[in-house]
A and B are shown apart, each in its own frame.
Chain A
């Protein structure tokens, strides 16, 4: 079954405590992306990756890091989380034929930074 998994699904943390949200896909997709969703603002892209070892900034990359060491995983790293990073985060994946086709979204990670 085609799947995009995110972990954890819910996380409450404190300011400054480094955290990683994992994203994994089993569809052999080249493209992976992270979004944050905030009320009234829709989805905003944080980072995306067209393939292994290739990452690019989206609209709101400040305070986030990503890595794409292997095709199936695209972790989102918050080195020093702050309360303004409290949000709902989605990972998404797609094939590239030649541009992104259907994006499959993970179930989301609800992050609260106190």
Chain B
């Protein structure tokens, strides 16, 4: 069956450093979504990517959807302590599969 893999599993950065998490699907995705979950909280929707090669930005966050629609990435520029949490990719719509997540910790 379809698998969604995410790397790295953990990332520890110094505040101000950049951070990237990568998501790969075993099959082509119609769309991909990204979520953030703070410790002890529930997943919160960040963005949805639909088009091949799509790039979207939200302030310091940049999301990309691969040309083949099988991979995606989330890049955070100049991390802050408020970025701490676990970032998940998920897709496709309906029968949704989540990656295992990348847990980001930020040292002040």
Cβ contact of A90, chosen from B33, B43, B45, B93, cutoff 8 A: B43
A39 to chain B, nearest CB (A): 10
Q: A33-B96, A99-B94 are in contact. Are A108 and B101 (CB under 8 A)?
A: no
Q: Are A48 and B96 in contact (CB under 8 A)?
A: yes
Against B, the Cβ 8 Å flags (1 = close, 0 = not) of A99-114 are: 1111111111000000
Q: Is B68 an interface residue (CB 8 A)?
A: no
CB-contacts of A55-110 with B (<8 A): 56, 58-59, 90, 92, 99-108
Verify A102–B99 contact, CB threshold 8 A: no
Contact residues, B23-54 vs A (CB, 8 A): 30-31, 33, 35, 42-45, 48
Interface residues contributed by chain A, number (CB under 8 Å): 26
**Interface size, chain B (Cβ < 8 Å):** 23
Q: Mark B62-96, 1 if CB is under 8 A from A, else 0.
A: 00000000000000000000000000101011111
- Give B6's nearest chain A residue, CB to CB: A42
**Which residues of chain A are near B31, meaning CB under 8 Å?**
99
How long is the Cα–Cα vector from A51 to B11 in the complex, in angstroms?
39
Residues on A with C-beta less than 8 A from B99 are: 42
Q: Which B residues have a C-beta under 8 Å from some C-beta of A?
A: 1, 6, 30-31, 33, 35, 42-45, 48, 88, 90, 92-101
